Structure 1
């Protein structure tokens, strides 16, 4: 008999360039190489100094890196650029904590519209919908799998303060 994943103790901390080893380790575990969705270390390092960019790291009770998010706020819009949770820590509330942080941080910084993009078929879509994100657009054949199969990208949006 299998049991549901148990909630984990998680602490969210603002991450910087010194945390890129942990972020890249999470990304390697969390993102399937089949779709080319992961960013490179240089892409992550390059965006960190930009205005409005925040990277968060989710650490477990022993300090282990379990997940991360990368977001950007510009004027009244915020975008969740990347989010990842290592496979054995999924469905334990870490992704939700990172999404909740994205929403509250963006609202605090004046964003009224939040958005993200996700590959059609990605299991995280249900989590985004539970957080109030709704389908706003579709980019046909945006992602190409290693086997040549094409996947749409879905644009999801929500108001910063849901009524």
Structure 2
């Protein structure tokens, strides 16, 4: 099992198809081919998974001078509420600082229940894109942009 297999297994379990937020394997592979895109995996204990061990969570970020953007973050549903998301964000923030970033951005749909995790981890809302996302039933939902100062 390679890391892209691990990412895809978590993504397929974690993202509700009604929102259309999951990426395809091709999108993940294409993004990771860029030197500015980085990822992390965690196992159920919050450590990096060893060879042939499933991932419980993953995240992907894109780096730019002085800042990074959290592109995707997910935890398998049965493992939510165990601190993996908070651990992942702390690791991503450390990685970003090590690469010279002092800001971490993310964008999410307005009704995403992960908002409480992001706010507990120091993200604050800084912008809104009206009707940016489209739900499976055609409903338009605003996107909220968040910033965490590192």
| TM-score calculated relative to the size of structure 1 | 0.84
Alignment of structure 1 residues 41-120 onto 2, 5 Å: 41-60=25-44, 63-120=53-110
Figure out how many residues of one structure are paired with residues of the other and give that number.
144
Partner of residue 20, structure 1:
4
Structure 2 residues not aligned, in runs of 5+: none
Q: Which runs of 5+ in 1 are unaligned?
A: 1-16
SS of the equivalent of 2:43 reads strand
Moved over 2 A (4+): 60-64
Looking at structure 1, the residues matched to 55 and 148 of structure 2 have their Cα atoms a distance apart, in angstroms, of 28
Cα contact 2:44–2:79 (8 A) shared by 1: no
Q: Which segment is superposed worse, 75-84 or 61-70?
A: 61-70
Post-superposition Cα deviations, 1:101-124, rounded to whole Å, max 9, x if no partner, equal: 111111111111110001111111
Q: Alpha carbon RMSD of aligned pairs, Å?
A: 1.5
The normalised TM-score by structure 2 is 0.91
* Separation (CA, whole Å) in 1 of partners of 2:141 and 2:14: 18
Query: Once the 2 structures are TM-superposed, how far is the Cα of residue 47 of structure 1 from its aligned partner?
Result: 1.0
| Distance across 2 between alignment mates of 1:68 and 1:144 | 24
